Copies of this chain bind each other. A is one copy, B any other.
Amino acid sequence: MPHIALGGEDRTDEQRDLRMELRRLLTRLWSDDHARELADGDRTTGAKLAAVLEHDIALGALLVPEELGGHGGGCVEAAVAAEELGAASAPSRLLGDAMSAHLLATSGDAELHRRLRRVVEDGVPAAVVWPAQDATWDLHQIHPVEITGAGASGRFRYVAEALDAALLLVPARRGAEFGLLLLDLSREGSGVELHPAKGADVLRPLGGLTVAGPTGEWVGLAEPQRVFTETVALGAIVLAAEMIGAARSCIERMATYAGQREQFGRTIGSFQALRHQIVDALVAWEAARAMTYRAAAGFAAMTRGTARIDDVEPMARMAKAAASDALGEASETCIHVYGAIGFTWENPVHLAFKRWAASAQIFGSPTEQRVRVCQHAIINAGGRAGGALRVAG
């Protein structure tokens, strides 16, 4: 199967190496059969893969700064890993790990830094509890956990990668102060209720979460809003890259199949109408891929202090929207190119189709992203023109 790529996505040797290592490892450990076993409800092979990813590549430490015991990777490295995992239809905890690492590292809080170091050392599966349905990425517009004298209380309908986490990082509010509630699920038994939620994507089960009672550990944050918006933007870029990977695999599969399957005495790829549909999926994918890595590079620059979240946030939104559409188009076209075979459980394309139904919605649908990208541009235009911002809900 040919690997497609416009070239130029890996700017450093480290990025190239990471991609190649993951590709080798996934080729060896994670076949379509494994993905199907997972879809059939067997989670043991998934656990084995997770162990190898943790042991051989220490994926959980990828975004942790070197001084805190991690690899010191940035958002581009996270995107590289997410793309390869997505292309292989492999389950992983990359989203939760990456968001947790960024949240704890960027907080500037010494206690949280120590906590992050322990997370890395002990290989603790962590997750940021941000409502998956939220499109605002704004701490002031979600309902954080409320902390009062009686304890904490809050409810999240859908959270990603919380179900098998041991440490939950929950946006919280105490009076007028915003911060973080740390829930160590290995220690505390009471007050936290987690339950699986119905979802489309077997590779990333969603959980519902209720917090009630005297539980967890409160940490105030100096810049809570910035820290959380950055963290969700990172999550969006990781999701985008994962969808880019899934879409790549669809395009590679359908190009291969269209070059082999014959009807009317010719390969079906020789029919211009079908060939052009595959090309259209590729063109949309190239554009979304470029945008995703541009957003990842922008995020990395922000982490280095040479870019602002105000500029990175719209890039992350555009990447997420474009990657969603690219995966929607690639997976649907792939099913169509395979004909009825594409509609079977046996053919793994449906995993990408279902992943789209979930990933395109997490942290806001493409339409929600676009509305906010435009609002960002309107604020700029309004600033320039000196006019007031006039936007209808």
Contacts and interface: CB of A to CB of B under 8 A. Distances in A.
Interface residues of A, number: 6
Contact of A273 (B273, B392, B393): B273
A140 interface: no
Contact of A271 (B272, B392, B393): B272
A85 to B, nearest CB: 35
A272 B269 CA distance: 12
Nearest to A393: B392
Contacts of A273: 272-273, 276
A70 B271 CA distance: 56
Interface in A359-392: 392
Copies in the complex: 2
A272 B393 CA distance: 44
A47 B393 CA distance: 49
Contacts of A393: 392-393
Interface string A69-86: 000000000000000000
A135 to B, nearest CB: 15
Nearest to A275: B273
Interface in A268-299: 271-273, 276
Contacts of A271: 272
Pick the most buried of A272, A276, A392, A393: most chain B CB atoms within 10 A of its CB: A272
A273 B393 CA distance: 41
A273 B273 CA distance: 5
A271 B276 CA distance: 12
Contacts of A392: 392-393
A249 to B, nearest CB: 25
Nearest to A276: B273
A276 B272 CA distance: 10
Nearest to A271: B272
Interface of A: 271-273, 276, 392-393
8 contacts: A271-B272, A272-B272, A272-B273, A273-B273, A273-B276, A392-B392, A392-B393, A393-B393
